[in-house]
Amino acid sequence: MARGRGAMKLLILGGTGEARELAKALVKQGEHVVSSLAGRVARPKLPDGETRVGGFGGPEGLARWLTENDVDAVIDATHPFAERIGANAAEASLATETPLLRLARPGWTEQPGDTWHWADDLDHAARLLPALGERVFLTSGRQGLAAFAGLGLWFLIRCVDPPEAPLPRRHEVLLDRGPYTVERERALMERHGVQVLVTKDSGGAMTAAKLTAARGLGLPVVVVRRPRRPEIASVTSVRDALTWIGVATKGSPA
């Protein structure tokens, strides 16, 4: 499907900092970049290049879009927990023989002094909480909070946009967007008397300060594992993604 010369047309499934960084680098190289955003955040940070918002209509719709738009390659740079679009991208790329790359930041690593409890999903995380603390700092995003609705614990729920019901009966919502500092995170936890932190294994530096703050306060952390993704070519850095794009679409490094 590659043109072999001239500007490439690349689809970035984005919404992450890595996606924006990659789009910026590719636009600077003169490539035609279309970044697709899910549209779940009210005021997203827009990348360089062309932007589209909303779904494609499943794998079939994405396959049709790739063909109609003569796309040279797809880069799945979505959030580590955006498993549905990842599966759709794998199926659509296979159907259309379009090269596909997964760009995913590494997950977090437990450090000395940490007390982490790994959970397979949000339901599992909810089952772990009663034994760990009464006051919970919940930073797993605004979706899926129904898993915690039946608990009698108190929750500080932080997310970018207002969360979806149902919510825990005892809660306070904090609308905020990273990056965060260790000092602010520690002060927030102390002010609210937080006893346990819940987070997804999102990775990256933008929201890692909460883990350092929890370590310093001696708080347990429930960490939700990343969902399984399709077995496709994967890299962890924008630099490696640029190299892959050059090889996959032009036959030489970018």
Structure confidence by residue, pLDDT tens digits, 172-204: 999 998 899 999 999 999 999 999 999 999 998
Average pLDDT score over residue span 78-88: 92
pLDDT in tens, 5-34: 467 899 999 989 999 999 999 999 999 999
Cα 237 from Cα 77, distance rounded (Å): 10
Confidence at residue 38, expressed as pLDDT on a 0 to 100 scale: 82
Count other Cβ atoms within 10 Å, centred on residue 70.
11
Question: Is 151 a residue whose pLDDT tops 70?
Answer: yes
Confidence at residue 3, expressed as pLDDT on a 0 to 100 scale: 43
Task: Give the global pTM.
Answer: 0.86
Residue with tokens 């001239």: 6
Question: Is 253 a residue whose pLDDT tops 70?
Answer: no
Confidence at residue 252, expressed as pLDDT on a 0 to 100 scale: 42
Give the whole-number percent of the chain exceeding pLDDT 90: 81
Residue with tokens 């708080």: 219
Domain map of the chain by residue range? 9-106+228-250, 116-224
Cα 60 from Cα 247, distance rounded (Å): 27
Instruction: Give the pLDDT band of residue 1 (cuts 50, 70, 90).
Output: very low
Question: Is 154 a residue whose pLDDT tops 50?
Answer: yes
Give the whole-number percent of the chain exceeding pLDDT 70: 94
Confidence at residue 6, expressed as pLDDT on a 0 to 100 scale: 60
List strands edge to edge, sheet with 154-159.
116-119, 221-224, 196-200, 135-138, 154-159, 170-175
What's the CATH number for 116-224?
A: 3.40.50
Average pLDDT score over residue span 92-112: 96
Q: Which of 166-170, 216-220, 245-249 has the lowest mean pLDDT?
A: 245-249
Q: What value does the mean pLDDT of the chain take?
A: 92
9-106+228-250 CATH fold: Rossmann fold (3.40.50)
Question: Is 75 a residue whose pLDDT tops 50?
Answer: yes
Domains 9-106+228-250 and 116-224 share a fold: yes
pLDDT in tens, 30-70: 999 999 998 666 677 889 999 999 889 999 999 999 999 99
